[in-house]
Amino acid sequence: MRISNIVMAGLVPAIHVLLTSAMAGGFVYMMSNRRDGILYVGVTSDLPKRAYEHRSGLIAGFTKRYGLKRLVWFEPHDDIRSAIQRETTMKHWPRAWKARLINAMNPEWRDLYDEIV
């Protein structure tokens, strides 16, 4: 019994190191229904797939309820953890700050989906 505890204790850090090094990057993104419309801030590791899910109405919730099908802004991150932190921070921002980001990247608020697939 004591040997298996030592072996198991030895495996836990090794597994943790493998999972940490295998973490991929991610994206913070904003969806809208129209220019200067409703905004949704999200995070994902697969932006084309996630944008497609929103566009197709496959995800129940806020974006489906309000018809947010237009990808209007995104920001790549090398580490998914930094993307999650950025999304969390942005959700507390005033709308004007989010709109300023969109206007800097995409002043017409056009759908960027075709640019990422």
Burial grade of 15 (CB within 10 A; 0-12, 13-18, 19 or more): exposed
| Tens-digit pLDDT profile for residues 67-77 | 999 999 999 99
What pLDDT, on the 0 to 100 scale, is given for residue 5? Answer: 44
Closest CA to 102 of 68, 58, 53: 68
- How would you list the strands of the sheet with 70-77, edge to edge? 39-44, 26-32, 70-77
Fold annotation for 24-116: GIY-YIG endonuclease (3.40.1440)
Angle made by CA atoms 51, 56, 62, in degrees to the nearest 5:
75
Q: pLDDT grade, residue 2 (50/70/90)?
A: very low
Least confident of 58-62, 79-83, 106-110: 58-62
Tokens 């017409």, residue located: 108
Sequence-ordered list of residues with C-beta below 8 angstroms from that of 51, at least 6 positions apart, any chain: 29, 31, 71, 113, 116
| Tens-digit pLDDT profile for residues 21-70 | 456 899 999 999 999 999 999 999 999 999 999 999 998 999 999 999 99
